[in-house]
Copies of this chain bind each other. A is one copy, B any other.
Amino acid sequence: MSRQSPTLALVGATGAVGTVMIDIINGRESVPWGEIRLIASARSAGKKITVRGEELTVVELKPEAFDGIDVAMFDVPDEVSAEWAPVAAARGAVAVDNSGAFRMDDEVPLVVPEVNADKVGNPEHYPKGIIANPNCTTLSMMAALGALHREFGLTSLVVSSYQAASGAGQDGIDRLYAELEAVAGKGLGSKAGDVRAALEAAGLPVADTPFAGTPLALNVVPSAGSYKGDGWFSEELKVRNESRKILGIPGLKVSATCVRVPVVTTHSLAVHATFEREVTVEAAHKLFEAQPSIVLTDDPENGVFPSPAEVVGADPTYVGRVRQALDFPNTLDFFVCGDNLRKGAALNTYEIAEQVAAKLA
Contact = CB atoms under 8 A, between A and B. Distances in A.
A300 B255 contact: no
Contacts of A264: 188-190, 218
A168 interface: no
Contacts of A281: 231
Interface residues of A, number: 78
A327 B219 contact: no
A189 B263 contact: yes
Given A254-B327, A311-B192, A162 B259 contact: yes
Contacts of A183: 180, 184
A158 B221 CA distance: 19
Given A220-B263, A305-B223, A184 B187 contact: no
B309 A257 contact: no
Given A162-B220, A212-B305, A255-B272, 8 more contacts: A162-B162, A190-B313, A218-B263, A223-B303, A230-B323, A231-B298, A255-B331, A261-B261
Contact of A321 (B158, B231, B333): B231
Nearest to A232: B323
Interface of A: 156, 158, 160, 162, 177, 180-181, 183-185, 187-196, 212-215, 218-223, 227, 229-233, 240, 252-255, 257, 259, 261-265, 268, 270, 272, 281, 298, 300-301, 303, 305-314, 320-328, 331, 333, 335
A160 B257 contact: yes
A222 B306 contact: yes
A252 B325 CA distance: 13
B328 A263 contact: no
22 contacts: A180-B185, A190-B264, A191-B313, A192-B309, A192-B313, A193-B309, A214-B307, A218-B263, A219-B309, A220-B268, A223-B300, A223-B305, A231-B281, A231-B300, A232-B326, A240-B327, A253-B328, A255-B272, A255-B328, A257-B335, A259-B268, A272-B272
A261 B220 contact: yes
Contacts of A253: 327-328
**What are the nearest 10 A-B pairs in CB distance?**
A231-B323, A189-B264, A160-B160, A184-B184, A253-B327, A219-B309, A257-B270, A160-B270, A195-B309, A158-B158
Given A160-B160, A180-B184, A300-B227, A215 B306 contact: no
Contacts of A196: 309-310
Contacts of A189: 263-265, 309, 312
B180 A268 contact: no
